Amino acid sequence: MGSYFAPRFRGKQAHGYTEAVSIIAGVHPVREALRAGRQLDRILIAKGAGGPKLQEIIDLARQASVPVRFEPREALERAAKGGVHQGVLAFGAAQKYATLDDLGEARCLVLLDGVEDPHNLGAIIRSAHAAGVDAVLIPDRRAAGITETVVKASAGAIEHLPVVRIGNVRQEMEKLKEKGYWIYGVDERGEEDYDRVVYNGPAVFVLGGEGKGLHEHVRKQCDTVVRIPMAGAIASLNVSVATGVVLFEWRRRIVRS
């Protein structure tokens, strides 16, 4: 069974238990939640707010029979607790993580080895979805989980890309190898340039946490560890930027083939 990400707050009582409720804040996240068919209880829009993007949200909500209420902006500020909402909030049940069994035959996965910054996680999810990745795998310990910050940073991509909680990273890599996946680590200490290595499929790209890179025992489990050559004085890229660089090189190869 998939687990739930931590909700913003506890909501209404039902049948003797408290139902977990999550808040989706911002134009892009709310719009993508509606497009993806996410089950939402209601949407709040700030009085006086307008424009084609908000009108699109209103139209999508009506098509999905999701109630839309217009409230003073102060009410949205209180509900968002200081978060950037752009005049729109959506409320719904907390979203489940996916499981590997849900994925079927995946062509490409991203596995994160201890990424702790939720902004980086959201940006990675956004890049992975744009590059055609089938899922992002995150460990359940010492790593960022799905929060409102992640949802916001993904710009709605999280509504379309499964995120899977896993246990031990090394053990998960062993299981993926047994299923026929090729494991490519991405690290500044890699042996081959990312744009010269041959990518076999199905592929798993493994990226390490901020400032630490891949753990040594994880590096040893990779079939190949690739690096991104740097022209400047800084030795490496931010993990979310590095993810985008490597994934779009992989996508370029797949499209050409």
Smallest Cα–Cα separation from 5: which of 169, 160, 143?
A: 143
Smallest Cα–Cα separation from 95: which of 155, 163, 26?
A: 163
Smallest Cα–Cα separation from 28: which of 68, 97, 86?
A: 86
CATH T-level topology, domain 9-93? 60s Ribosomal Protein L30; Chain: A; (3.30.1330)
Whole-angstrom CA distances from 245 to 29, 190, 193 are 24, 15, 12
State whether CATH 3.40.1280.10 applies to domain 100-256. yes
Write the pLDDT tens digit of every residue in 45-74.
999 888 899 999 999 999 989 899 999 999
DSSP code of residue 4: B
Residues of each domain in the chain carrying CATH 3.40.1280.10: 100-256
Helix (H, G, I), strand (E, B) or coil at 111: strand
Asked if residues 8 and 149 have their Cβ atoms less than 8 Å apart, the reply is: no
Write the pLDDT tens digit of every residue in 219-237.
999 999 999 998 877 767 8
Q: Is pTM, for the whole model, over 0.75?
A: no
In the predicted model, is pLDDT for residue 252 greater than 80? Answer: yes
Residues of each domain in the chain carrying CATH 3.30.1330.30: 9-93
Asked if residues 157 and 185 have their Cβ atoms less than 8 Å apart, the reply is: no
